[in-house]
Amino acid sequence: MNARPRVILFPGLGADSRMFNPQRVALPEIETPSWIPHEPGESLRAYAQRLARTLNITEPAILGGVSMGGMIALEVAKVVPTRCVVLIASCREIGAASGLLKFAERVSRLVPSIAIDKARRLAPLVLGRGGTLSLDDRRLLATMASELPIEFIRWAGRAVLEWPGCPDPGVPVHHIHGERDWVIPLKRVRPDRVVKRGMHVLNMSHPVEVNAYLREVMEGCAASG
């Protein structure tokens, strides 16, 4: 078994691997896979299982992700060798998500794609609520949201809200969360680490804290074997 396990992180809904630029600079060994195309009507669990088969994980790895990416990591952990899961601004059950988010997703099912296209360009303003993001980070969020296929975003939003949850993936779960996360409010989850003034895009708004937490988890897993 490798002394240093692979560390694989999945981005949130509306984002891609560029979301982890602050982590890859500090921790270059981190892997950030790209999303694969979804299948019509596919559940989040089924999607995660298909994604897992593309990763070629043969020895226990550290899996993690931001928001939806954390949910994906929980599901992947059930089908591949895994040492632990790291949730970043995420949750084990969708009941932790804000009611406003659930309402917005249901409304989005009734509006045309052109409206979704315009709305997703506001992602930097919405996700940045309650804290401060640099102009470059806001631009990156807008770029990532605009470049993902609208049908993927529609599918993912619905798949997340229909996800049955994963309270116990069968491995240790480590969780870091922002104090001011309005998408998954702090009062609805029980994280191991709370970042003061942290928002939903926690790994971008507070990279120092998130990177330090990832190092702790990585070192702990390597030591425990």
174 Cβ contact partners less than 8 Å away, ≥ 6 residues apart: 84, 85, 86, 87, 192, 213, 217
Q: Is 1 within a domain?
A: no
Q: Is 16 within a domain?
A: yes
- Of 44, 101, 103, the closest CA to residue 68 belongs to 44
**pLDDT tens-digit map of 93-103:** 999 988 766 54
Q: Is 2 within a domain?
A: no
**pLDDT tens-digit map of 140-196:** 988 898 888 888 988 998 999 999 999 999 999 999 999 999 899 999 999 999 999
Handedness of CA 89, 90, 95, 100 (dihedral sign): positive
Name the token pair of 73.
Answer: 């990591």
- Here the CATH number for the domain that contains residue 175 is 3.40.50.1820
Q: Is 192 within a domain?
A: yes
Range of the domain at 103: 7-224
Q: Is 50 within a domain?
A: yes
Exposed e or buried b per residue across 182-217, where buried means at least 16 C-beta atoms within 10 angstroms of its C-beta: bbbbbeebebeeebeebbbbbbbbbbebbbebbeeb
How much is the pTM? 0.90
152 Cβ contact partners less than 8 Å away, ≥ 6 residues apart: 35, 37, 38
Provide the number of structural domains found in the chain: 1
